[in-house]
Amino acid sequence: MSKPAIAKCWTFLSSRGDRRYQTLLYADGSTSCDCPGWCRRVAGDGSRSCRHTRAIELETADRECDSMHDYGTSATPTAATVSPSRVITDFGRMGRRKIHT
């Protein structure tokens, strides 16, 4: 099964301000994030959520994010965009965290 294309990417500063987390919106409407909240918490139905993905659902992510990149448009990059190569490289760590019970 192939992964859906990335439509948008947001970078959020952690609440302590010492880390950055990338949250992705895929073309099929699903979201993912590399923050500990999203990686470690799974609801009973298998869904995941964190404050960053909820910001996307509430359409407040553009105001709350540190930077954003829209892969759906061919606009000229601005200082607030994220490099596509950085998104793919940095986001590869997701799913490698171990859940301790």
Residue 82's pLDDT is 47
Residue 46's pLDDT is 84
Whether residue 14 contacts residue 20, with contact meaning beta carbons closer than 8 Å, is answered with yes
Residue 10's pLDDT is 92
Exposed e or buried b for every residue in 65-90, given b needs 16+ CB within 10 A? Answer: bebbbebeeeeeeeeeebeeeebeeb
Q: Where are the domains of the chain?
A: 6-91
Residue 23's pLDDT is 92
The distance from CA 98 to its chain's CA centroid, rounded to whole angstroms, is: 19
pLDDT (tens, 9 = 90+) of the chain, 101 residues, equals: 677 788 899 999 888 888 999 999 998 888 999 999 888 888 888 888 899 999 999 988 888 888 888 887 544 344 444 444 444 444 445 454 444 44
Residue 101's pLDDT is 47
Residue 64's pLDDT is 86
In the DSSP assignment, the letter for residue 94 is T
